[in-house]
Amino acid sequence: MEGSLTKELTPVTQAFLGSILRLHPRVAAFDCDGTLWAGDAGERFFDWEFREDAIFTDPEQREALSRFWRKRYAAYKRGEVDETTMCGEMVTLHKGIAERTLLNAAIRFFDEFFVPQLFPEMRELIRRLQQNGCDVWVVSSSNEWVIRAGMRHFAIPENRVLAASVKLDKGIATDQLTRVPSGSGKPEALRDAIGKQIDVAFGNSRWDVELLEVARHAFAVNPNPDLESHAHKQGWQIYFPDGTPRRASL
């Protein structure tokens, strides 16, 4: 990860970072989509992989898969498929594909479309937390390959990534889910992985409420309206990164 971005940060952002660092957290947990960057990388990757030949190289197969999964996703958007099921299926659909192929595609995708959408202040926050000896974890319901691709830009190692994933068979993806951290699945994944109190947690949507509730200190970053409302009621700190539509006072 590049060096400090301190000189580029606004006074409001400096105050936000300071309010966290003064807590001297030992364990921090971050949601990813909408919290560390603008937009939903998992959803965008799901659309992208059916338009590009990086994963499904046969055009006829890709078209058939695209028709089926776009209908399935439309049903999810209508509320006919629950969040955890859909997030799981967005990973298990890759059964039979080499993990290296999936990760290479995710890196290509993320670097092209999401690097410009990273929130610089969140990168700086993670850099400072790590510098201070804080154990930083990320937890996401998006597929593990995309999240691992994103974490290359935050210097967060693979063993600190908890995302939607499947078992591998000699490096080949299966359809056996290992985890889908969404809603209550986020703190559960963290408990299974580290078994420690979360000192600070960061999220942007209602799917992060359970994660934020288990932390000693919760921060709603770039929150959707539903989480923003809930954060006000809970007294959680709210922060809108530079360039996002609204900003909340500290």
Residue 247 CB partners (closer than 8 Å, separation 6+): 12, 240
- Whether the full predicted model's pTM is greater than 0.75, yes or no, is yes
Specify the DSSP element, H or E, that contains 239: strand 237-239
Q: State the pLDDT at residue 246.
A: 61
CA distance 22 to 199: 12
User: 157-193 burial string, b = 16+ CB within 10 Å, else e?
Assistant: eeebbbbbbbeeeeebbeeebebbbbbebbbbbbeeb
Question: How many angstroms separate the CA atoms of 43 and 47, rounded?
Answer: 7
Task: Tell me the pairing of strands 27-30 and 200-203.
Answer: parallel
Alpha carbon 147 to chain centroid, angstroms: 6
Report the candidate in 208, 201, 243, 242 with the shortest Cα–Cα distance to residue 223: 208
Instruction: Show the domains of the chain with their CATH numbers.
Output: 6-239 (3.40.50.1000)
For the chain, 250 residues long, the average pLDDT of each consecutive 10-residue run is: 58 95 98 98 98 96 97 97 97 98 98 97 97 98 98 98 98 98 96 95 97 98 96 97 63
Q: What distance in Å separates the CA atoms of residue 202 and residue 157, rounded to the nearest whole number? A: 18
Which of 179, 2, 150 is closest to 84 using CA atoms?
179
> What is the predicted pLDDT for the residue at 218?
98
Label residue 176 left, alpha or beta by phi (over 0 means left) and psi (-120 to 50 means alpha). beta
pLDDT for residue 243: 76
Q: What is the pLDDT at residue 25?
A: 98
